[in-house]
Amino acid sequence: MSFIHSVVTAYPAYRYSTEEITDKAGAWLKSAPQERALFERLAGSTKIEYRNFALPIEDLLRLEGTATRAQIFGEVGGALLREVITKGLQESEISPQAVGALLTTSCSVPAIPAIDAHLIEELNIPQTVLRLPVFQYGCAGGAIGISLARHLCATSGITLLASVELCSLVYQGEDLRSGNIVGSAIFGDGAACVVISPDSGPLRIVDSQSYLIPNTSTLMGYDIFDDGTHLRLDREIPQALLQAAPAAIETFLAQSDLSSHDIAWWLFHPGGAKILSSLEETLSVSRSQSRWAWESLRDHGNMSSASILSALESFLKDREFKVGEKVLMLGVGPGLTLQMNLFECCG
């Protein structure tokens, strides 16, 4: 068996309110009134109050080239990774030498080697640790990471799942397409670490399953141009998710002789207010059953693969659950991919 033992998060130093971000975005979009109006309209409806960034906004607005972004990711992302792994091990009271596997997720910069390779010796993690860096799952990476870590834990023992997302480094100032405008209005930076144990923890990982929604591969992802990666977010994403999610969830739960009515708590990917409210309505989930996604979205924006782990951290801190209650985590990412993880509360 595999258990969620603990979850911790960390955020870069530069924190801004939505009002501050909207004001500073005026400098970016001063010559594009329609796009500026779109940004302001989006910012006012996202339910996001704060976001953290790797750099001051003025520096983000001047970002150029992939080399600069890669350097920043190595420095800021490496520091965040060091922080969350250290905090995760300390909170769990686990020695670094006990770590058998390290799974890292990010879709910010495709660094090779992945940034964890520079920290293994410094953190006193065994050099024989099984490393698995994951990039292309995007926002679903945190949820899929838990599924993969569950299997790694069965053979490697204590497994760390660490997500580091500096979404601000994907910003492209010359790109005024709607996907980049939307992304600039909702994405933030952050990191998380989940410690998965074969012995004990407040949540037992019961089952996991991915579902690739047919005919949706062009709706979300990156367009790769000569100047780097450009965010692609299609307006059809919410509808595609709502059409597929209910049946996929019921099929998944039926494997454990359960239905959605047996789920006490829901952990949705904090991708956006429209998606969250639509999922609640479609699945007949109350706000009290799923509020942690809203809290993460409000306080940090969409941090890609780290977001759902932030919601998981808040859920565990609240400790409102009872032994035996079931929890469903729903991750969403490019593909379009649904990642479903079923947990049982252990106290």
Active-site positions?
Answer: 139
Q: Secondary structure of the chain: what % helix, strand, coil (to 5)?
A: 45, 25, 30
Which DSSP letter does residue 75 get? I
CA-nearest of 336, 345, 136 to 248 is 336
Report strand pairing: 14-17 vs 203-212. Answer: unpaired
Buried b (16+ CB within 10 A) or exposed e, 130-148: eebbbbebbbbbbbbbbbb
Residue 342: φ, ψ to 5°: -105, 125
Buried b (16+ CB within 10 A) or exposed e, 297-315: bbbbbbbbbbbbbbbbbbb
Region at 124 (left for phi over 0; alpha for psi -120 to 50; beta for the rest): left
Cβ count near 159 (within 10 Å) = 30
